[in-house]
Amino acid sequence: MTYKTVKVEKGRGGWGIPLLITPVPGKDKISSITGGGIHPVAQKIAELSGGTAIDGFRHPVADGEVACAVIDCGGTCRLGILPSKNILTININGGGPSGPFAKFIKEGLYVSGVRVENVSLAEKQTGGEK
């Protein structure tokens, strides 16, 4: 079985260019850091890609195992810390670069305002083997 590439686009009022997420062996966790279990956006990314959705608060994993993180940050902490570690970051809240971590919030690394309908299989697949 192979992993699939998923495209995550900014939602209404969001920021950023589409992210392409392709899990690979050892880096296949879709970390939901929303404080309420696994967010539906994280679940859809996992279902389409073949990755594994996890509750990043209850079951944190090493940064190197994370294919992407789904957050709900309206401030500056998670919003900038994860991109500063080069982790693809999907914020379900809107908004672009701001605050002390703004320099890390870059197109191609961060997208915001994301809803379930903004997640789809990418047209071009670059999936790796499981």
- Confirm whether 82 is domain-assigned: yes
73 as an active site residue: the answer is yes
Give a yes or no: residue 130 inside a domain: no
Nearest to 77 by CA among 40, 85, 39, 44: 85
Residue 60 domain boundaries: 17-117
At residue 10, does pLDDT exceed 80? yes
CA nearest 5: which of 18, 21, 19? Answer: 21
Catalytic position from the list 67, 73, 88, 109: 73
Cα distances (angstroms) measured from residue 109 to each of 5, 37, 68, 129 = 15, 23, 10, 23
Residue 9 lies in a domain: no
Instruction: Judge whether 3 lies within some domain.
Output: no
pLDDT digits (tens, 9 = 90+) for 20-42: 999 999 999 999 999 889 999 99
Give pTM, 2 decimals: 0.91
Number of domains in the chain: 1
The single-letter code of the amino acid at 6 is V
Strand ranges inside the chain, DSSP E: 6-8, 19-21, 29-33, 52-55, 66-71, 89-91, 110-112, 119-121
The residue with tokens 């997208």 is 111
